[in-house]
Amino acid sequence: MQKYRWSLLWLACCHSLAQQPAPAPAIPGLSAPPTQTQSQPAPAGISIRPGDPFQGSLPTGRATPDVLPLSLDDAIARALKYNLGVITGDQNVRLSRAARLHALSQLLPNLTASISETREQVNLAAFGFSGFPGIPNVVGPFNVFDARAYLSQSALDFSAINNHRASAENVRAAEFAFRDAQDTVVFAAASLYLRAIAGASRITEAQAQVDTSQALYTLAVDQRKAGVVPAIDALRAQVELQSQQQRLIFYRNEFEKQKLNLARAIGLPLGQQFSLTDLAPYLAVQALTLDEALDRAYKTRADYQSAQALVRAAERSRDAARSQRLPAVDVNASYGDIGSAVTQSHGTFSLAAAVRIPIYQGGRIRADVEQADAQLQQRRSEAEDLRGRIDNDVRTAFLDLRSAEEQLRLAQSSIQLAKQQLQQSQDRFGAGVTNNIEVVQAQESVVASNDNFISSLYSYNLAKASLARALGLTPDAFKRFIEGAK
């Protein structure tokens, strides 16, 4: 009876442990399997806040019943067309160009024309003309025809000139910001694609473990029927089989959600089924020193060039505010025909030039200068902060890449050792030397080793993508870098 109680207690403990699979290692961008799900932190370089335009897109087209094959190149190409972040950046460029045209209009001549015909009757007495011999108090009615063109031109306005220069720099800043948005979209599409590849690999690995658990369970049942092993071994094998089946269900669900996130970011038609055609093999990055990477980043990062353009724009805006104290020259002219009718008209013109000299503006110019100078200091601080952030991004990517590469090598070795351990445990259990606790533990080691390898490979490829993003590479150069080219 005492022996039976201990058997029940041991069975309950084994069942409890088997229902709590070991959590996967904390790798950025991956969820933990079944019992402990973790939030997925954002990879370096993109934001996953709700409402982030880089996570949205304009779904284009209608879904087809066929399964669409989708490569990494296809995902990047679609993201560059339909991702909301790129579309928003393009519209910002259009807005900045419109602002530049508005500033330019202050320097270009304004030409208007008008044609009018008026019938009037004038009471001269109302204007003080009355009592003159031979002149009636009321004149008319009579016709007045006037066809005239008007020209106004700012001949010299230093404030308008500097405002136009500032708007031109703002256009350059918007164009660089658009390029930076494209780089961010490429990184977002690549990271989501890599995450989905890792999800597919986990399904394959989990299915293999289910098959292994099924074989071990069948073996334990056969041995139990033959009276070689106790019933608890068969029950333990069944618990392990169900645990691996649970992992498989979890990873399949995670993979489908990862595909949804990818489709959402690249603008696939709603409900379109697709398959991933590219794998994520280990491809080492060619030698690139830290100093070379930093030098390239400062030269090619579009966000840094945009920040520098914003500094120049702020400098021009400050000059425009200061220039309001200087005189300005305006020219106005008109020419046209005036008379009682079209056939009874004569040409007339007027030409005037005026010099505007600001004397006292109630402190408005001083306030504009202070505001422009404060904005300039802010732009300079933001540019310096971005320069430091670029340095941090590159150094962090180098550290992550080196760490992921070392982890990947160890994970490859651990898989081989875990498989040998599992094979020896299966042989020992089949020979009746030991129970299947040793087999279950060995199988869990294989599961952990495979998880570590998939996570390490994903982390390595994501680190390469992060380094490419930190360098500010173009989409084509980004793809070559991911494939191992320098």
How far is residue 468 CA from its own chain's centroid? 14
- Residue 155 main-chain phi, psi, to 5 deg: -70, -35
Q: The domain spanning residue 115 has which CATH number? A: 2.20.200.10
Residue 117, SS3? strand
* Most confident option among 30-44, 124-138, 237-251: 237-251
Residue 25 pLDDT: 33
Condensed to tens digits (0 to 9), the pLDDT of residues 297-331 reads 999 999 999 999 999 999 999 999 999 999 999 99
Beta bridge partners of 348: 336
In this prediction, residue 430 carries a pLDDT of 73
Supply the pLDDT for residue 160.
92
Same domain, yes or no: 348 and 427? no
Tokens of 364: 């408005």
The H or E element spanning position 195 is: helix 158-225
pLDDT, mean over the chain? 83
Same domain, 331 and 233: no
Cβ atoms of 115 and 150 closer than 8 Å: no
| pLDDT tens profile 440-459 | 777 788 888 888 888 888 88
Most confident range, picked from 1-10, 269-278, 436-445: 269-278
CA 273 to centroid of chain Cα atoms = 24
pLDDT surpassing 50 at residue 343: yes
Domain check: are 318 and 336 in the same one? no
Which whole number is the average pLDDT over 387-409? 91
Structure token pair of residue 115: 């044609």
- Would you say residue 10 has pLDDT above 80? no
- Kindly state whether residues 174 and 317 are assigned to the same domain: yes
In degrees rounded to 5, what are phi and psi of residue 101?
Answer: -60, -35
Q: Mark whether 273 and 398 lie in a shared domain.
A: yes
Are 51 and 165 in a shared domain? yes
Segment holding 250, helix H or strand E: helix 231-266
Report yes or no on 368 lying in a domain. no
Look at residue 364 and tell me if it is in a domain. Answer: no
* Phi–psi pair at 18, nearest 5 degrees: -70, -25
How confident is the model at residue 421, as a pLDDT?
A: 83
DSSP state of 130: -
Task: Kindly state whether residues 228 and 295 are assigned to the same domain.
Answer: yes
Distances (CA, A) of 7 to 81, 227, 241: 64, 17, 21
Asked whether residue 294 falls in the same domain as residue 148, the answer is no
What count of residues does the chain have? 486
Domain assignment present for 370: no
The highest-confidence range among 50-54, 354-358, 429-433, by mean pLDDT, is 354-358
Q: What angle do CA 38, 263, 46 make, to 5 degrees?
A: 55
DSSP type of residue 35: T
Are residues 305 and 187 located together in one domain of the fold?
A: yes
What integer is the mean pLDDT of 147-159? 92
Q: What angle do CA 483, 48, 81 make, to 5 degrees?
A: 60
Each residue's pLDDT tens digit, 37-49: 333 334 444 444 5
Whole-number CA gyration radius for the chain: 38
Per-residue 3-state assignment (H helix, E strand, C coil) for 285-302: CCCCCHHHHHHHHHHHCH
Q: Which domain holds residue 342?
A: 110-158+326-356
> Is 301 among the domain residues?
yes
pLDDT tens readout for residues 201-210: 899 888 988 9
Residue 45 has a pLDDT of 41
Residues 6+ apart with CB under 8 A from 219: 237, 429, 430
- CATH number of the domain within which 46 lies: 1.20.1600.10
Residue 456 resides in a domain? yes
How many distinct structural domains can be found in the chain? Answer: 2
What whole-number distance in Å separates Cα of residue 273 and Cα of residue 461?
25
